[in-house]
Structure 1
C-alpha cells in the first residue's frame, strides 16, 4: 500500500485565513485543553459516521478537519492494513492528535497541517474521505469538495457529519437564548461558513454535485449533546466557550450576571443521571466520486 506523501509547507486559502489564525491561537489551545469534553459532547453521532464511511481493512482514509484526531483514530482502527491521514488548520490540535495516536499504539496514522480547500491532495490517493463536523466552515465549499473529490479514487466514498438547522439543535438554541439576554440574534444561514454551513440539504446537494460527487444522500440523525456530568460541571464548561464569551461581551454587568444565571438554570434543567443532555440533530451525508 502506498501512503500519500504530504507537502512540507501547510497551505491556507485566503478565504480561510481568519479561521486559520483563530485555530492556531486561543481557539486551538482551548480545544486542546478540553478535547475530551468536545469529543464526548457529540459522541452519540460517531457510530453513524463509521457506518456511512464503510471503511474496509485496507482503505486509505482522509479525515478532514480532524481536530484532536478521534475520528482519524477510529478510521485507523477500522483499516488496520490501511492508513488514516488527518488534516486540520490547527497546529496545537494536530500536536495533540499525534500524541493521542502514539499513546493508543497506532502506527497507521499521519497528521498534516493544511487547508483542505487548497491542500495539494494527490489525485486518487484515497479510498474514503470522512469529516466529523469539520467540513461546514469552508469559505468556498465547491472548491473544497472539488479538491477532495480529486483526492479520491474513482468510486471512492465521502461520509461526513454536519449539524442540521439551528431550530433542530436544542443544545445551541438554549445557549443562544440564555446569552441573548433579550437581544434579537440573527439566525445563522444554512449556506454560509459556520456550524450550520451544511445544514440545508438542497445546498449540500448542489455543492457536492458541482464538485463531482454522485449519489448524494442525507440521512437525518436525531441524538443528544452531552455538556457535562452534572449541572455545575456543564456550566463550568459552557461558560468558557468562545460562543459564550462573544455573546456576553456586549452586555453590561447586570445583564451579564442575569444571562449567566439563566445559563446555569438551563444546565440544571437538563441534568439527567447520564449527564447534562440536550436534544440535537445532525446529517450523515454520503456520496461517491463519479
Structure 2
C-alpha cells in the first residue's frame, strides 16, 4: 500500500493516498471524496472497482481525519471549503484526466468544483449529494451551539456518543434502508471493524465547523447550467438528503444522468455496491474510458 501524503493550503492540512491502476491503457485518475463524518478508509470496499479503470486517489474531505483545520477559531466559508478541496485535487491528481467521485458532502464538493473548473474535470459521479442548507433535525443544535460559543457541548456529546459500543453501526443504521441486512453482510462487518479506528480519530470541532458551513451553503447558483458529464446516484429512501433537493439539481443541469435506487438509503455505494458499480461502469464506458471489466 502506498504511503499517505500531506498537502497544506492556508488553514487546512489535507492528506491523500494513491492506489495504482490495474489498467495500463487508462490515464484517468479517480479522486474519491467522502461525506460528513467520513475518515480515512471510507472507500475501502470501492477502491478495487476503480483500480480496474485507472489510478485511484483517496482524498480527505476538508476537516476530516487525517485532514485538519489548523486554526479552529477561523470561520469556514463555502468558498474556502471549495478552494481547499479543489487545490488538494490539483496537488494529488494534477489538472487533467480527472474523474471526481463524491458522497454526500463530498458529492456536493465534486459537483461544485466541476462547475467551477470544467476544463480540468472529465466527468463526475455524485452520490446522494448535499445541495443546500439549512441543516435539519437535531444536528441544528450543534450549529447553533458553535454560533453561540457553546460548541464544547457538541464536542463532549460527540466524543461521548463515539465511545459507545457499536456507535458507528448506529450511524450507518440510521442512513441505510435495511439495517439488518446491511449489518449481516460479511463484507460490511469487516469494513466497519477495520474502519472504526479511523472514525474514532475524527476531531469534533472540525466536523462541527463543516456542519455550520453546510447550514449556510447553497451550491445551486454554482452548478446551474454546468455541462461536465455527471452521474447522480441516490437512494429513493434516503433519510439524510431530501430527494427534492437533488431533483432540482438534476433538472437544471444539462448533462446529468440521474439514477435512483429502490429500497436504498443514503449509502448507495455500500448498500447497493454491485449495482452502483455497474451503473458507474456503464456511465464511464459511454464516455470512452478504457476498461478491463466486462459489462
Q: Which is strand-richer, 1 or 2?
A: 1
Could you tell me the TM-score, scaled by structure 2's length?
0.35
User: Rg: which structure is higher?
Assistant: 1
